[in-house]
């Protein structure tokens, strides 16, 4: 056996687990032995993990009280980086830091004032953000503990804090993760992404006090520079219409099940097929009318928190859940019918 070059010596636990269940008999033995060792390590890690969670809980705030901590990575990749604006402190003059602070605030407001949810975990978890991550970094993400925003390259992308709904989207990933562990692939992954867009756009609409008619239903307006032909990252109203440019390609989002994209890229199209449930939300919200956060937002939020939302939920299971929730909240009426019709119109239910 080539000890130095042997992949099996360095393979991660999940692959060993897979081999232990599905591999050849002799491979299985090897994998099982490695797993036994790894489980001991894992137990130790869990103990360490608990200790740090306890620390985080100690800093939680009373209901209704927000706690923001905006850091700068100073173009590096160490997280969270250097704290530049803590809760209650004055503006810094750093545009990205002040945007992050303001939009984390707007996101907290939506969840607290509309859904009575006290931060990401419902128990006042401090909101940790880092700006100026990496060099010309073209992304924003939630890493399981905090939100991270790049500055963009300035040629295609502007800074990622420029769009309130992107900040809302990333924080919503934290909320979604606390409520469900929707597998990040295929339809359940696309639901995960769609929910982040739904709450991201609700943050934007609630902040602007826009009705369903006034809202633009676009995700990430301002993110692209004038150099590219793009209005936004995604359109919930008309998926597939957000951009068409040589550097970006054409927006690949479908708005109907007949155009569902089967792919291995993008975790099985999680940011692609999210167009379908996104459009369902748009259709339901506009049919119900008024402010989207009042009824359709409430229905989607209750569905997210419902115990009936499984890790492996597909579009039709989520659709059925939203119809049930609409009936539970508002009876059999225009709300329930609008939600049902929206899912019919995007081809998810018959």
Show which residues are catalytic: 170, 271
Strand partners, 245: 249
The least distance separating Zn ion from the CB of residue 94, rounded to whole angstroms, comes to 25
144 touches which of other proteins, Zn ion, none (CB within 5 to 8 A by kind)? other proteins
The least distance separating Zn ion from the CB of residue 25, rounded to whole angstroms, comes to 41
Q: How many CB atoms are located within 10 Å of the residue 22 CB?
A: 10
Token pair of 28 as six digits: 């299985």
In degrees and rounded to multiples of 5, residue 224 shows phi and psi of -90, 145
In degrees and rounded to multiples of 5, residue 69 shows phi and psi of -140, 105
When asked if residue 80 is in the footprint of other proteins (CB under 8 A), the reply is: no
When asked if residue 318 is in the footprint of other proteins (CB under 8 A), the reply is: no
The least distance separating other proteins from the CB of residue 65, rounded to whole angstroms, comes to 25
According to CB under 8 A, which residues from 266 to 285 bind other proteins? 266-267, 269-272
Residue 242 DSSP symbol: S
When asked if residue 26 is in the footprint of other proteins (CB under 8 A), the reply is: yes
When asked if residue 234 is in the footprint of other proteins (CB under 8 A), the reply is: yes
Query: What's the CA gap between 136 and 155, in Å, rounded?
Result: 10
280 touches which of other proteins, Zn ion, none (CB within 5 to 8 A by kind)? none
Q: Give the chain's end-to-end CA distance (angstroms, integer).
A: 57
In degrees and rounded to multiples of 5, residue 137 shows phi and psi of -70, 130
Each residue 187-216 as x (binds Zn ion by CB under 5 A) or -, in order, gives ------x--x--------------------
When asked if residue 167 is in the footprint of Zn ion (CB under 5 A), the reply is: no
Query: What's the CA gap between 114 and 167, in Å, rounded?
Result: 18
Query: What's the CA gap between 95 and 79, in Å, rounded?
Result: 19
* Exposure of 84 in the CB half-sphere (CA atoms within 13 A): 21
Residues that bind other proteins (CB under 8 A): 1-2, 5-8, 10-12, 14-15, 24, 26-27, 30, 77, 79, 134-144, 156, 160, 166, 169-170, 173-174, 177, 183-185, 189, 220, 233-234, 243, 245-250, 252, 265-267, 269-272
Site residues (CB under 5 A) for Zn ion?
193, 196
């Amino acid at each position: 056996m080539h000890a130095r070059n042997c992949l099996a010596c360095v393979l991660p636990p999940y692959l060993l687990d897979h081999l232990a269940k599905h591999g050849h008999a002799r491979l299985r033995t090897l994998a099982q032995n490695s797993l036994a060792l790894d489980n001991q390590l894992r137990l130790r890690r869990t103990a360490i993990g608990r200790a740090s969670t306890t620390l985080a809980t100690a800093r939680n705030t009373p209901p209704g009280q927000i706690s923001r901590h905006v850091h700068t990575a100073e173009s590096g990749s160490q997280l969270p980086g250097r704290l530049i604006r803590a809760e209650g402190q004055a503006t810094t003059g750093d545009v990205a830091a002040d945007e992050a602070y303001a939009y984390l605030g707007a996101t907290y407001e939506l969840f607290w004032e509309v859904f009575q949810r006290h931060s990401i975990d419902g128990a006042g978890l401090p909101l940790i953000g880092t700006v100026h991550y990496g060099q010309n970094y073209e992304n924003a993400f939630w890493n399981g503990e905090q939100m991270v925003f790049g500055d963009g390259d300035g040629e295609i992308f502007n800074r990622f804090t420029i769009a309130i709904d992107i900040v809302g989207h990333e924080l919503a990933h934290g909320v979604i993760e606390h409520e469900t562990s929707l597998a990040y692939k295929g339809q359940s992954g696309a639901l995960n992404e769609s929910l982040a867009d739904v709450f991201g756009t609700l943050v934007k609409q609630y902040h602007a006090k826009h009705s369903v008619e006034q809202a633009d239903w676009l995700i990430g307006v301002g993110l692209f520079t004038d150099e590219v032909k793009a209005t936004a990252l995604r359109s919930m109203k008309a998926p597939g219409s957000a951009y068409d440019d040589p550097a970006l390609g054409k927006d690949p989002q479908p708005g109907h099940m007949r155009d569902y994209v089967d792919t291995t890229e993008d975790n099985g199209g999680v940011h692609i097929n999210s167009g379908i449930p996104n459009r369902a939300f748009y259709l339901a919200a506009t049919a119900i009318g008024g402010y989207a956060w009042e009824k359709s937002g409430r229905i989607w939020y209750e569905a997210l928190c419902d115990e009936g939302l499984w890790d492996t939920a597909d579009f039709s299971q989520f659709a059925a859940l939203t119809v049930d929730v609409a009936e539970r909240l508002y009876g059999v009426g225009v709300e329930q019918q609008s939600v049902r019709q929206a899912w019919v119109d995007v081809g998810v239910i018959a």
